[in-house]
Chain A
Amino acid sequence: MYVPHTFIECKYGPELVVTCTFRSSPVAGSNRVFNTPLSEQGIVGFGIGLATQGSTAIAEIQFADYIHPAFDQVVNEAAKYRYRSASHYHCGPLTVRAPYGAVGHGGHYHSQSVEGFYAHVPGIKVVIPRGPSQAKGLLLASIRDQNPVFFFEPKWLYQAAGERHTQLASLCTCMQSLSLSAGSDVTVLGYGSQIQILRQACEMAQSELGVSCELIDLRTILPWDEDTVIQSVCKTGRLVVSHEAPLTAGFGAELAATVQAECFNHLEAPIQRVCGWDTPFPLIFEPFYIPNKVRCFDAIRTVVDY
């Protein structure tokens, strides 16, 4: 696992605490890296308490599907902590990590994408990396950020062969979006594990349709990089948004609504959203649920042919 190895090497002050479910690190010591009971709301609550005292607290929820008991502590406590105390206190040193998304066989409760719920809460940040190098840099940025950050890691990356990552690679400590390919015909927007699929769809669009796609990885969901996206869509006139989370009230709806308001006169076609279906995440029917490269390719073709 690349993440724990890396961040433990990078020290953040004398109080580095990870509440997690993997074995203790020999570097940080078992009083600073330890397992907790099964208490998600407690885990986030403990983290708020630690962070309020100035300790860097990195809490792990084993699967994002299980973060829901902590919703109260996130929404009512962490997100409002600074505002409600006239800035006397905040829980900025808190970072909560959770693996999210499809893994091939996870079913209802090991596959969920939850970013939509947490994007709706002013007062926290939501960050989602697309791969190992990004995960390292974004996690470090999240830990350093003086706001509580919810860091959702694509679950399938834990099993993938992955990209080669060197310790000496420069870290992306900026949480803005990143354009992965410059294009002129359509803006393709996504985040996390969906980026790999969108990459393939863009390649198909290039080779089969001669369509030049500008692929953007949002990286941070809350707050999201409106400027980069608006600039891109004003240039291309077309937008395809894709996420694994269900369609209705998914984060794609926020992206589409903002872009249509800001780029209305530049749009050549309605904005397409390619998302998970509005059902519980299925087990054996997972391949039909995922917004795969064919569905994404179809959406690109739709906006181009409009």
Chain B
Amino acid sequence: MANAVDAKTLDESTLLEIYGKMVLSRTLDERIWMLNRQGKAAIMASSQGHEAAQIGSVYALRRGTDQFYIYYRDLAVMLTLGMTPREIMLGFTAKVGEPLSGARQFPTHGAYPELGLINLSNVIATQLPQAVGAALAIRMRREDGIVIAYFGDGASSFGDTHEAMNFAAIHRLPVIFMCENNKYATSVPQHRQMAVDSVASRAEGYGMPGISIDGCDVIAVFEAVSEAASRARNGGGPTLIEAQVERYLPHTSDDDDTRYRPREEIEEARLRDPLKLFGERLMAMGILDNAASEHIYSEARAEVNAVTDYR
């Protein structure tokens, strides 16, 4: 697996690898959701629609060196960092060997030190000040790593978020604030969550750079996070990145989004499916064709089937 570099170019094999990760993530996500509907998997917060933002960001960073403070929707981050589909499924089926928390917490919550996945809880935004504290420790020790803290549009309203960004900017800490804005905090739409159009617009208020990007474009995400990582590594301090994404499914498997969200809105969002967009881009570049894509999908299905059947 190629390590991410700060340069903004990715070679062919890495591009195909990224596509494969997106397909695997989507396939696994769909399967877990299906199992949940059958009563066979525990509560799930789907990452469908978020894949480009999550996977593109991981590829821009150094796995094994950087620290990842994720939130509950970051299934694709976990997969890309190196968790296997089986390890992820163990959480949803609460089986022995679940690596993150010994199945003590909700699925996907807990820690995986070898992958740099720090301890996720179920409380929104509490990870942001912790990520900032970790960045302070890394800077004091003059270590090489940086920290990325993921969160949603809802979390951006929390006091924890404000305090974390303020402190990080004051001390120019090596941290990337990565907001996956899917425009819904459970049922609350963005205009009820904030009076501004963009979460990134708040960065100026803290004294750090902020950028709002198309979170459905994995290359755009890779470039933005690469730049932020470079800034952090060179002592330039934090960056706030807002990746505009779409949430195709309800908030979690315990939510019914028909109560608050028109179906047409979701259908329209799916027209810009990050998998479709990236697949088309790769085909236009001549490094992917329909047969190859179908092969990638069927491999993903086979892997996910094996995981589903595991007892």
A48 B130 Cβ-Cβ under 8 A: yes
Neighbour of A45 across the interface among B99, B110, B111, B163, CB < 8 A: B163
Q: How far, in whole Å, are A52 and B127 apart by their CA atoms in the complex?
A: 12
B100 A86 Cβ-Cβ under 8 A: yes
Chain A residues with Cβ below 8 Å from B105 are 84
Q: Do A89 and B141 form a contact, CB below 8 Å, given A42-B160, A83-B104?
A: no
A15 B131 Cβ-Cβ under 8 A: no
Consensus secondary structure, chain B interface:
helix
> Which of A30-38, A136-144, A220-228, A287-295 lies at the binding interface?
A30-38
Query: Which chain A residues in 4-56 approach chain B with CB under 8 Å?
Result: 14-15, 17, 31-32, 36-37, 39, 41-42, 44-55
Neighbour of B119 across the interface among A31, A46, A57, A88, CB < 8 A: A88
Chain B residues with Cβ below 8 Å from A45 are 126, 128-130, 132-133, 160, 163-164
A17 B140 Cβ-Cβ under 8 A: yes
Query: Which chain B residues in 201-218 approach chain A with CB under 8 Å?
Result: none
Closest to B106 in A: A84
Neighbour of B110 across the interface among A36, A47, A49, A84, CB < 8 A: A84
A49 B160 Cβ-Cβ under 8 A: no
Query: Which chain B residues in 112-148 approach chain A with CB under 8 Å?
Result: 112-113, 118-119, 121, 123, 126, 128-138, 140-141
Size category of the B interface is 35 or more
Is B167 part of the contact surface with A, judged by Cβ < 8 Å? Answer: yes
B119 A53 Cβ-Cβ under 8 A: no
Closest to A36 in B: B167
Is B64 part of the contact surface with A, judged by Cβ < 8 Å? Answer: no
A17 B136 Cβ-Cβ under 8 A: yes
Q: Do A50 and B136 form a contact, CB below 8 Å, given A76-B126, A77-B130?
A: yes
Is A242 part of the contact surface with B, judged by Cβ < 8 Å? Answer: no
Q: How far, in whole Å, are A84 and B107 apart by their CA atoms in the complex?
A: 12
Chain A residues with Cβ below 8 Å from B135 are 49
Q: How far, in whole Å, are A76 and B104 apart by their CA atoms in the complex?
A: 14
A46 B104 Cβ-Cβ under 8 A: no
Is A80 part of the contact surface with B, judged by Cβ < 8 Å? Answer: yes
Closest to B138 in A: A53
Is A69 part of the contact surface with B, judged by Cβ < 8 Å? Answer: yes
A85 B133 Cβ-Cβ under 8 A: no
Query: Which chain A residues in 160-185 approach chain B with CB under 8 Å?
Result: none
Closest to B105 in A: A84
Q: How far, in whole Å, are A72 and B131 apart by their CA atoms in the complex?
A: 16
A86 B136 Cβ-Cβ under 8 A: no
A-B residue pair count with CB separations less than 8 angstroms: 123
Q: How far, in whole Å, are A255 and B152 apart by their CA atoms in the complex?
A: 44
A89 B167 Cβ-Cβ under 8 A: no
Is B170 part of the contact surface with A, judged by Cβ < 8 Å? Answer: yes
Is A73 part of the contact surface with B, judged by Cβ < 8 Å? Answer: yes
B134 A50 Cβ-Cβ under 8 A: yes
Is A81 part of the contact surface with B, judged by Cβ < 8 Å? Answer: yes
Q: Contact mask A176-212 → B, CB, 8 Å, 1/0?
A: 0000000000000000000000000000000000000
Interface centre among B102, B105, B140 (most CB of A within 10 A): B140
Is B109 part of the contact surface with A, judged by Cβ < 8 Å? Answer: yes
Q: How far, in whole Å, are A88 and B141 apart by their CA atoms in the complex?
A: 21
Interface centre among A39, A42, A47 (most CB of B within 10 A): A42
A55 B160 Cβ-Cβ under 8 A: no
CB distance from B292 to the nearest CB of A (A): 38
B113 A15 Cβ-Cβ under 8 A: no
CB distance from B271 to the nearest CB of A (A): 39
CB distance from A187 to the nearest CB of B (A): 39
Q: How far, in whole Å, are A9 and B259 apart by their CA atoms in the complex?
A: 61
B137 A54 Cβ-Cβ under 8 A: yes
Is B166 part of the contact surface with A, judged by Cβ < 8 Å? Answer: yes
Q: How far, in whole Å, are A80 and B140 apart by their CA atoms in the complex?
A: 26
Q: Do A50 and B101 form a contact, CB below 8 Å, given A37-B163, A37-B166?
A: no
B129 A50 Cβ-Cβ under 8 A: no
Neighbour of A46 across the interface among B110, B111, B123, B129, CB < 8 A: B129
Neighbour of A89 across the interface among B118, B123, B164, CB < 8 A: B118
Is B159 part of the contact surface with A, judged by Cβ < 8 Å? Answer: yes
Chain B residues with Cβ below 8 Å from A86 are 99-102, 104, 110-111
Known: A37-B163, A45-B126. 11 other contacts (CB 8 A): A31-B140, A46-B130, A49-B132, A49-B133, A51-B133, A52-B133, A53-B138, A55-B137, A69-B159, A80-B121, A85-B100
Q: Which 8 A-B pairs have the closest CB atoms?
A: A49-B133, A45-B129, A42-B163, A46-B133, A86-B102, A53-B137, A49-B130, A39-B163
A residues near B, CB below 8 A? Answer: 14-15, 17, 31-32, 36-37, 39, 41-42, 44-55, 57, 69, 72-73, 76-77, 80-81, 83-86, 88-89
